[in-house]
Amino acid sequence: DNVRSYFNLAERKMNYRLNNAHIKELECSIVLHFRGGDYFDNNNMFVKNEYYNQIISRHDKLLVVTNDDKKFEEYMLKHFPQKEYRIISNGDVIYDFFTMINAKKIACANSTYSWWAAEIGDNEIIFEPEIYFEHLQQWSPKSNKTRIKI
């Protein structure tokens, strides 16, 4: 609660155009954080395909927050060519953060960006990788919330 109040999340949510239609969409979908870019340059950091495969195959309505639209679209074409999804990132990292905070279901990448969104958000279901980083297998972020590890 201290972190939420520090950032004054309720007021900022209004500044980032999370209108009722957008919030309603977040209530009936899962928001998947797919980090691309530098995560593909370092195999020790990138979440394995099995994690994303399990998340994507279990959900019909998939909204995606990503910093790498092209890489995500390549991934979907290779693994789930018939699956419907929508990339909702708009290039504004704070908007994406508030989107993840307001999702009822969130699938985190092995990234503190989505981990923090899940930690301070009102998410009801939080998925996260069993192993965050291959080179630090004993490390796992501490949390005040129940998370489903895959």
pLDDT at 81 (0 to 100): 93
pLDDT at 80 (0 to 100): 94
pLDDT, tens digit (0-9, with 9 covering 90-100), for 5-59? 655 555 555 455 667 777 788 888 999 999 887 666 655 446 678 889 999 999 9
Q: Which residues contact 26 (CB under 8 A, 6 or more apart)?
A: 63, 99, 102, 103, 104
pLDDT at 44 (0 to 100): 46
Mean pLDDT of the chain: 81
pLDDT, tens digit (0-9, with 9 covering 90-100), for 102-144? 899 999 998 889 988 998 888 899 999 887 766 666 666 677 7
pLDDT at 8 (0 to 100): 59
pLDDT, tens digit (0-9, with 9 covering 90-100), for 51-108? 899 999 999 989 999 999 998 999 999 999 999 999 999 888 888 998 999 899 999 9
Written in H, E and C, the secondary structure of the chain is CHHHHHHCHHHHHHHCCCCHHHHHHHHCCEEEEECCHHHHCCCCCCCCHHHHHHHHHHCCCEEEEECCHHHHHHHHHHHCCCCCCEECCCCCHHHHHHHHHHCCEEECCCCHHHHHHHHHCCCCEEEECCCCCHHHCCCCCCCCCCCEEC
